[in-house]
Chain A
């Protein structure tokens, strides 16, 4: 195994679980070996993609992670393609290699393009199938769980947007930052400047986000916080856009565009990514992420769960 992404996935898979700082340290060490252009934020971005691709689950607030169980799941309306995701230990890879050699599976290893500043992702394992029953039995033979179609099932389970638990106001005199939706960055403020998303340093040195709504402070994540603030601004603040495919018979499938600065929460991102089994495309010029093969129904569920109304044009 030579590629960086696959080695990292095997590493987290073999560990099972751990602390975020340890895994970032290892990733940074390996990345420095293979890419001189890797930037300091690269481990964080790799981990977010790994969550999206359902390799891991990460509890960011408590700085812990675990490898996700291996799962075989269909991609929606993808001409008989499924993706094999989750933990990829050496033993699992060996079983998979035997299955491919024995002709049981037709496996495609598909890379997700990432810029040179990022750590490469593992290749997605795309499997071609002829019938769903066969797919379920392959999953069993590999020791993986079978989820008929995560994208469709996960979309139905997306939680509605709501502020987290009530919490105390930021300590007076301590550094405080407010998220500026226009510049898409946090800016230092001397004190809370009305409703909005704020970031502060907790006693354990971890940066946490809190949202001020209706005079009350709530715990939140950065992603949820951004959409909570957007929700309070009404239709004018809708930021998600979905563009249908142009070709015959696939009008209800398309691409979901999410601009930089409005990242989807983990679960919504995973639902969007598992529509094609590949990490979102990065449109550097347009400053957005593009999630391919997203059925309109799934995009609408994602939007609904974030208090958004779905725009149907990329340039809306």
Chain B
């Protein structure tokens, strides 16, 4: 191996796989400028291309073109693969070829091999050019070896960003390194922070979703991404496995939450600011989610005051309340910097907001959830376009209100309940249609639904248990098919059901039996169960709150499990005596209550109350008499259209013997009316007493 080749190997090893790259994404980016700078700073006399060319085997037809380097690589692998592989200069040269891909010199911008051959100063379509092209298969193998080595060393020398796609798999490797320059990686860490990606992409955002957000982030703004990357972004097909999509996902996966700022000794964390519309749209606040490991810190407005931040409820920082969002901040963006943290708001004209689950306020969000309610904060110049866009969703009328910042308007109640109208609105596009874009997923996910027994879900293979009738929505993975639709598979049946993955698929409209169900696509599915109920008795937790009673109830609820006297629901402690009442379910024309001592009490007639007539079914308003029974009364004598009747108001053994006065004629009269309507001994005693009074009266 020549001296120059060795020098380049050492330089490339130090520059791209040094200790500073441990656990971070590393990109072997070499363009003409980088090559020149490295050669100058390390005093290498020979260019990279020449150093590699000197290692090629043009003389021995029995051996491959890269046989010398391959041999070195074999030895390197056998001896424990210490340090970066000897193929590094070859790989770097292939990246250099990829960075030169452009429509010039009679070559198309897609022509990699032309540039590769050109680097070796060979003419196209010659024997040597063909040999170089065919030998690139061995270079691809070297790329794979580099990728494997980076993986095996567990990030000690950096995290691999080596990627390719199926079609151009050989040349994809160097192109993957040429797409993202060092400056792009710096900018991409700002993007990851701004889009509130969790470190190492813990939420597993799909590569397409990341691309969608990156496109949004770069729309209309110079984010200092290289023209090559911007070009690739613009031209990338909307599918998962493109080179750029894979690469961005890999970078996201490796991102540790810090901003790429080599000039700073302490690597700062970056988080995108959110905008919160509080108090039903009357107040605006900045909001930042807490960075893991930074519970207290400070940030400052550029050239302004310091803000002390500390962790608060809902996993957000307290301390930003005094920084009132102004229209200038919304228009031009806001950057708050501290020693540990950078908070940034990128300017935008239309802001999508969703209800924060913990804070109960409307907070800016990255994607639309069809079915859920959103608010949209729109700058005045965009109001017309936003208005027509949300009206196209064909839902409930969206309410417009002034925003708590001049020059902006709030659209409240934006929902997409009509799947067809929603898909049509997205398809029609428009300047601000991107705010209605739902998240692009790579797996089927269940959302919403009426979950029961959440404790059973933990650690299980089942995505959730749901009440029958409250089956969740199915969020489908993004489609790669030309019609953009996805085939839904439910319990093994596909029934030719194709659905738009942008619209949640409502499983609750399908009559499903109790038990397990698997739903999704061929590639990705979820298992869930449906039940009418899980408890024979009262479920745990029922009745655990109540109003403690000590004479009267306490005004506040408390744990009721150990309380003796408590109001729980409509259950009250015993001991409260109520007037006794008796009911006669007939058309009672007149009625009296009778006591043993000759007392008679007329019962007043009652009409059916108006509330019963207006609010209850007719069946409930039938004839009937409800009588409150004061203490001492033991018989109710009443008349219906056909006869007189008597009803006992106490247990027979508790009814005292009658003791009327001789002149209690009304009493006797009442008893005798129903004399033959009861044959119990105690009633007959009352009848006898009544007859005695009546007899005396007749005698008089």
- Interface residues of chain A, those whose CB is within 8 Å of chain B, are 1-2, 7-8, 10-11, 13-18, 21, 25-26, 28-30, 32-33, 36-37, 39-40, 54-59, 61, 64-71, 73, 77-81, 83, 85-87, 89-91, 106, 108, 110, 126, 128-132, 143, 145, 147-150, 152-154, 156-160, 162, 164, 173-175, 177, 188, 203-206, 221, 224, 245-250, 253, 255, 265-267, 270, 274, 276, 278, 281, 292-293
Q: Can you list the 5 inter-chain pairs with the closest CB atoms, starting with the nearest?
A: A68-B569, A90-B533, A17-B541, A16-B539, A16-B541
B553 with A159: CB separation less than 8 A: yes
A64 with B358: CB separation less than 8 A: no
> Which A residues are CB-close (under 8 A) to B449?
26, 29
B373 with A79: CB separation less than 8 A: no
In the complex with contacts A32-B371, A67-B539, A205-B569 CB distance below 8 A: no
B543 with A69: CB separation less than 8 A: yes
User: Min CB distance, B636 to chain A, in Å?
Assistant: 12
B626 with A86: CB separation less than 8 A: no
A80 with B585: CB separation less than 8 A: yes
Give the contact stretch, choosing among B383-391, B433-441, B617-625: B617-625
A145 to B283, CA, bound (A): 48
In the complex with contacts A15-B452, A108-B616, A248-B605 CB distance below 8 A: yes
A159 with B554: CB separation less than 8 A: yes
In the complex with contacts A29-B449, A73-B570, A224-B533 CB distance below 8 A: no
In the complex with contacts A174-B321, A247-B609, A14-B534 CB distance below 8 A: yes
In the complex with contacts A16-B538, A79-B608, A145-B571, A224-B576 CB distance below 8 A: no
B415 with A154: CB separation less than 8 A: no
In the complex with contacts A37-B396, A205-B360, A17-B609 CB distance below 8 A: no
A316 to B540, CA, bound (A): 47
A-B contact pairs, 8 of them (CB 8 A): A11-B470, A14-B467, A21-B357, A32-B371, A79-B620, A85-B570, A129-B583, A205-B360
User: Min CB distance, B286 to chain A, in Å?
Assistant: 14
Q: Which A-chain residue is minimally distant from B359 (CB atoms)?
A: A205
In the complex with contacts A85-B570, A147-B572, A250-B607 CB distance below 8 A: yes
B452 with A11: CB separation less than 8 A: yes
How does the 8 Å CB contact mask read for B167-194 relative to A, with 1 for contact and 0 for none? 0000000000000000000000000000
A154 with B572: CB separation less than 8 A: yes
User: Does B493 count as interface, using CB distance less than 8 angstroms?
Assistant: no
User: Min CB distance, A242 to chain B, in Å?
Assistant: 14
Q: Which one, A29, A36, A87, contacts B542 given CB within 8 A?
A: A87
> Which B residues are CB-close (under 8 A) to A108?
616-617, 619-620
Q: Which B-chain residue is minimally distant from A270 (CB atoms)?
A: B570
Q: In the complex, how many residues of chain B place their beta carbon closer than 8 angstroms to a beta carbon of chain A? A: 91
How does the 8 Å CB contact mask read for B574-587 relative to A, with 1 for contact and 0 for none? 00101011110100
A250 with B609: CB separation less than 8 A: yes
A83 to B570, CA, bound (A): 10
* Interface SS, B side: loop
User: Min CB distance, A130 to chain B, in Å?
Assistant: 6
- Interface residues of chain B, those whose CB is within 8 Å of chain A, are 279, 282-283, 312-314, 318, 321-322, 355, 357-360, 371-373, 395-396, 413, 415, 417, 448-452, 467-470, 506, 508, 531-547, 549, 552-558, 567-573, 576, 578, 580-583, 585, 604-612, 615-617, 619-621, 624-626, 628
> Which A residues are CB-close (under 8 A) to B624?
79-80
In the complex with contacts A14-B452, A130-B583, A267-B567 CB distance below 8 A: yes
A57 with B533: CB separation less than 8 A: no
In the complex with contacts A1-B469, A14-B535, A203-B606 CB distance below 8 A: no
B543 with A21: CB separation less than 8 A: no
A164 to B360, CA, bound (A): 25
> Which A residues are CB-close (under 8 A) to B282?
188
> Which A residues are CB-close (under 8 A) to B620?
79, 81, 108, 110, 126, 128
User: Min CB distance, A5 to chain B, in Å?
Assistant: 12
A90 with B532: CB separation less than 8 A: yes
The number of inter-chain residue pairs (CB within 8 angstroms) is 280
Q: Which one, A2, A131, A221, A267, contacts B553 given CB within 8 A?
A: A267
User: Min CB distance, B579 to chain A, in Å?
Assistant: 8
> Which B residues are CB-close (under 8 A) to A65?
545
> Which A residues are CB-close (under 8 A) to B283?
175, 188
A83 to B538, CA, bound (A): 19
User: Min CB distance, A122 to chain B, in Å?
Assistant: 13
User: Min CB distance, B499 to chain A, in Å?
Assistant: 16
> Which A residues are CB-close (under 8 A) to B322?
173
Q: Which B-chain residue is minimally distant from A25 (CB atoms)?
A: B357
In the complex with contacts A15-B539, A86-B570, A91-B535, A110-B553 CB distance below 8 A: no
> Which B residues are CB-close (under 8 A) to A26?
448-451, 470
A91 with B533: CB separation less than 8 A: yes
> Which A residues are CB-close (under 8 A) to B357?
21, 25
Q: Which B-chain residue is minimally distant from A21 (CB atoms)?
A: B357
> Which A residues are CB-close (under 8 A) to B554?
159
In the complex with contacts A21-B357, A158-B553, A292-B615, A68-B568 CB distance below 8 A: yes
In the complex with contacts A33-B506, A205-B313, A14-B615 CB distance below 8 A: no
User: Min CB distance, B21 to chain A, in Å?
Assistant: 41
A32 to B506, CA, bound (A): 11
> Which B residues are CB-close (under 8 A) to A18?
541
User: Min CB distance, A83 to chain B, in Å?
Assistant: 8
B534 with A149: CB separation less than 8 A: no
In the complex with contacts A68-B568, A205-B314, A59-B371 CB distance below 8 A: no
> Which B residues are CB-close (under 8 A) to A147?
570-572
In the complex with contacts A11-B450, A67-B542, A164-B556, A79-B612 CB distance below 8 A: yes
A122 to B568, CA, bound (A): 19
A276 with B570: CB separation less than 8 A: no
A69 with B617: CB separation less than 8 A: no
Q: Which one, B372, B536, B542, B606, contacts A16 given CB within 8 A?
A: B542
B569 with A55: CB separation less than 8 A: yes
User: Min CB distance, B511 to chain A, in Å?
Assistant: 11
A190 to B606, CA, bound (A): 58
A6 to B464, CA, bound (A): 22
A245 with B470: CB separation less than 8 A: no
B544 with A17: CB separation less than 8 A: yes
Q: Which of B279, B470, B558, B570 has the most CB of A within 10 A?
A: B570
> Which B residues are CB-close (under 8 A) to A86?
569-571
A247 with B583: CB separation less than 8 A: no
Q: Which one, B359, B470, B545, B625, contacts A30 given CB within 8 A?
A: B470
A238 to B506, CA, bound (A): 50
Q: Which B-chain residue is minimally distant from A57 (CB atoms)?
A: B545
In the complex with contacts A59-B545, A158-B552, A293-B611 CB distance below 8 A: yes
Q: Which of A129, A154, A159 has the most CB of B within 10 A?
A: A159
Q: Which one, B373, B467, B569, contacts A11 given CB within 8 A?
A: B467
A68 with B542: CB separation less than 8 A: yes
A80 with B626: CB separation less than 8 A: yes
Q: Which one, B321, B452, B580, B610, contacts A175 given CB within 8 A?
A: B321
A36 to B610, CA, bound (A): 33
* Interface contacts beyond A71-B569, A153-B578, A281-B615: sample of 4 additional A-B pairs, CB < 8 Å, sorted by A: A1-B469, A80-B585, A80-B624, A90-B535
A159 with B555: CB separation less than 8 A: yes
Q: Which B-chain residue is minimally distant from A247 (CB atoms)?
A: B607
User: Min CB distance, B134 to chain A, in Å?
Assistant: 59
User: Min CB distance, B309 to chain A, in Å?
Assistant: 14
Q: Which one, B355, B508, B534, B567, contacts A33 given CB within 8 A?
A: B508
A157 to B557, CA, bound (A): 14
> Which B residues are CB-close (under 8 A) to A150?
570, 572
> Which B residues are CB-close (under 8 A) to A8?
450
> Which B residues are CB-close (under 8 A) to A143?
537
A17 to B357, CA, bound (A): 19
In the complex with contacts A61-B556, A126-B616, A153-B578, A250-B606 CB distance below 8 A: yes
A149 to B546, CA, bound (A): 18
A57 to B570, CA, bound (A): 10
A61 to B555, CA, bound (A): 12
A176 to B308, CA, bound (A): 21
> Which B residues are CB-close (under 8 A) to A71?
569-571
